[in-house]
Chain A
Amino acid sequence: MTKAHLELTGVEMAFDTPKGPFVALDNVGLKIKKGEFVSLIGHSGCGKSTVLNIVAGLLQATKGGCVLDGHEVNSPGPERAVVFQNHALMPWLTVYENVELAVQQVFRKSMAKQERRDWIHHNLELVNMAHAANKRPGEISGGMAQRVGIARALAMKPSVLLMDEPFGALDALTRAHLQDSLMDIQQELNNTVIMITHDVDEAVLLSDRIIMMTNGPAATVGEDLHIDLPRPRNRVTLADDPTYVHYRQEVLKFLYEKQRKLEHIAPRRGSQPAETTPETNSAQAARA
């Protein structure tokens, strides 16, 4: 086996709460090869975002650590670009300027001015957003803004692309469209991708591997499913493909049988919503 490109070993994450430390992650271990597309799936509050934030360097693991290409990760950096759930574009900058901010920061020394300009346009074209280069994020739709967020991340030439539920806030048609674009881009650039998702179909369609996480607290890697489907993949033909259906079933079984989440179904009226379970606490802590 080749040496791991990205490796998480014995990661534990504990958050301080007034009631003492809350252990969100316990002993998470993961090896990812170069060019692999990995999805993290699990119920809300299982610490998926925490794992991603640790790889991004936005959070520091309390035990264990993350090594990328032989270097320990202990702060955020553009080689681990993040695509946020709600695009996180600067609303006062145009689409072009948003990507420019990233390109200027990363390639200020290595690229000439004209070269940078071409690179920004190239990335906007990659996500089909060149036509809106001079618009502000407020003037384009959520799906378009998310494309720009992806273009900004790709423009940093990251060795790992981290995506935190990138399509979670979009409607189903826009989501399908962006998933197809993402597959094309991934095919072309062969980036290593870690994506968080709630969506079983999205996970099976896009991934080479699906990491299924157990429920928190003290969540860890439950199952590691390799998706052996040839690329390019087509969502319409795959829908009837027995292998695809099998993989899909595997994930569903894990989520709804093995790791079935015991949530209180709130009575219809006259009682408080069940918002104080440990799961929701950990979800908040993990997002914080």
Chain B
Amino acid sequence: MSTLTTPTSRTGASGWLKLLADRFTGAELAQGGKQLLLPTIGILIFLGFWHLAAPQVDTSLGTFPGPAQVWEQGGQLWQEHANQRARADQFVTMQEERNARILADNPEAEVKIRDYPGAPTFLDQVVTSLITVLAGFILATIIAVPLGIVFGLNRYFQAAVNPLIQIFKPVSPLAWLPLVTMVVSATYVSDDPMFEKSFLTSMITVTLCSLWPTLINTSVGVAAVNPDLLNVSRVLRLSFWTHVRRVVLPSSVPMIFTGLRVSLGIAWMVLIAAEMLAQSPGLGKFVWDEFQNGSSQSLSRIMVAVLAIGFIGFLLDRIMLLIQKKVAWNE
């Protein structure tokens, strides 16, 4: 890469040729090849193994799907989504036309605008899941980072709450879920709710399970600020807020981000389980519905969801890594 950025004094065709030649030296090609080649080989071997092993597994819904069936179902799900969208568009235009006609006859008439009543498709479920996980994760961050800073700054506080953190950290989302459901049903009572109850239940469960790594990492990062820097802060007589904002927080950003990445991974895993159990819309519900449906295609469709879940989890982590590189000073 450096060959592109170093300025060359030579001009004209020969200089460019040299540059091009530098780009395609054996070593660079080998380097680039290795980066792509090995993962490709790994994936191919996995697909081959899957293809050979899947037909050996017999279930009551037929044999386990191989890569080909799963690929086909992936296309199918996409097609269903496209069809549903077309129908929804049609529904909206028809509704608008009818309302226009009614209004033309009688300007005083009340017109009704209804949402399209079709079932959510696979992609709709993905979007719902993403919104829920992000809401839960952001809520967890808003709670965990300030709390972590407080715990990290004060070791008495830390000693007091540490047992609680250790006890609540390993609790499975499935254990929280019934409690959260009951509490949400009891407390969130409104005639015109801004959020669905199922959304709130999944979101709060995600928050409860995913805030611990951020909380712990933030407090460890805050407690581990270089003592020399703390002394500088004391010599300068920085106020408490300036101290937190200009010394403590920047110093612990790398640790906080490590915690955030673990939290986001947990949030995504927890969400799927919560959606399955709570029957709240999302990928988890899609998997559960397909399982209950029990058609010959169900296993392939669940496998599409499994791969989608994995891929989205991977993407979420990458996005966090990009944000970390933008924010953290040590990257």
Contact = CB atoms under 8 A, between A and B. Distances in A.
Interface of A: 56-58, 75-78, 80-82, 84, 86, 88, 90-93, 101-102, 105-106, 136, 156
12 contacts: A58-B235, A75-B237, A77-B235, A84-B232, A88-B228, A88-B231, A90-B232, A91-B329, A92-B253, A92-B330, A101-B246, A105-B237
Contact of B236 (A78, A84, A86, A91): A78
Contacts of A101: 236, 246
B254 to A, nearest CB: 10
Contacts of B251: 90, 92
Given A91-B329, A91-B330, A92-B251, A77 B237 contact: yes
Given A76-B231, A82-B231, A84-B228, A90 B250 contact: yes
Contacts of B229: 88, 90
Contact of B226 (A57, A88, A102, A136): A88
A75 B237 CA distance: 9
Interface string B205-238: 0000000000000000000001011011011111
Contact of A92 (B228, B234, B238, B329): B329
The 9 closest A-B pairs by CB, nearest first: A92-B329, A88-B228, A92-B250, A76-B234, A76-B235, A105-B236, A84-B228, A88-B232, A82-B235
A215 B251 CA distance: 37
B247 interface: yes
B19 to A, nearest CB: 28
Given A76-B237, A92-B251, A101-B246, A86 B231 contact: no
A56 B232 CA distance: 11
Interface in B1-53: none
Contacts of A91: 329-330
A85 B251 CA distance: 19
Nearest to A149: B232
Contacts of B247: 90
A78 to B, nearest CB: 6
Given A88-B226, A92-B250, A78 B237 contact: yes
Contacts of B329: 91-92, 136
A9 B214 CA distance: 49
Interface in B241-281: 242, 246-247, 250-251, 253
Contacts of B228: 84, 86, 88
A58 B236 contact: no
Q: At the interface, is chain B mostly helix, strand, loop or mixed?
A: helix
Nearest to B247: A90
B231 A84 contact: yes
Nearest to B234: A76
Nearest to A97: B246
A75 B238 CA distance: 13
Contacts of A88: 226, 228-229, 231-232
Interface in B28-84: none
Contacts of B330: 91-92
B28 to A, nearest CB: 27
A88 B329 CA distance: 16
B238 to A, nearest CB: 6
A66 B229 CA distance: 24
Contacts of B231: 56, 58, 76, 82, 84, 88
A77 B242 CA distance: 16
Nearest to B242: A105
Which of B235, B237, B242 has most chain A Cβ within 10 Å? B235
A80 B236 contact: no
Nearest to B254: A92
Contacts of B253: 92
B235 A81 contact: yes
Contacts of A58: 231, 234-235
Contacts of A136: 329
Contacts of A80: 235
Most buried by A among B232, B237, B251, B330: B232
Given A80-B235, A88-B228, A101-B246, 17 more contacts: A75-B237, A77-B235, A78-B237, A82-B232, A88-B226, A90-B232, A90-B250, A90-B251, A91-B330, A92-B250, A92-B253, A92-B329, A93-B250, A101-B236, A102-B236, A105-B238, A136-B329
Contacts of B246: 90, 101
Given A84-B228, A88-B228, A91-B330, A56 B235 contact: yes
A88 B234 CA distance: 13
B243 to A, nearest CB: 11
A57 B237 CA distance: 11
A129 to B, nearest CB: 18
A255 B17 CA distance: 68
A3 B251 CA distance: 43
A245 B246 CA distance: 48
A172 to B, nearest CB: 24
Contacts of A105: 236-238, 242
Nearest to B249: A92
Contacts of A81: 235
Nearest to B237: A77
Contact of A106 (B226, B234, B236): B236
A23 B228 CA distance: 24
A193 to B, nearest CB: 16
B113 to A, nearest CB: 52
Nearest to A85: B228
A265 B238 CA distance: 46
A9 B231 CA distance: 24
Contacts of A92: 250-251, 253, 329-330
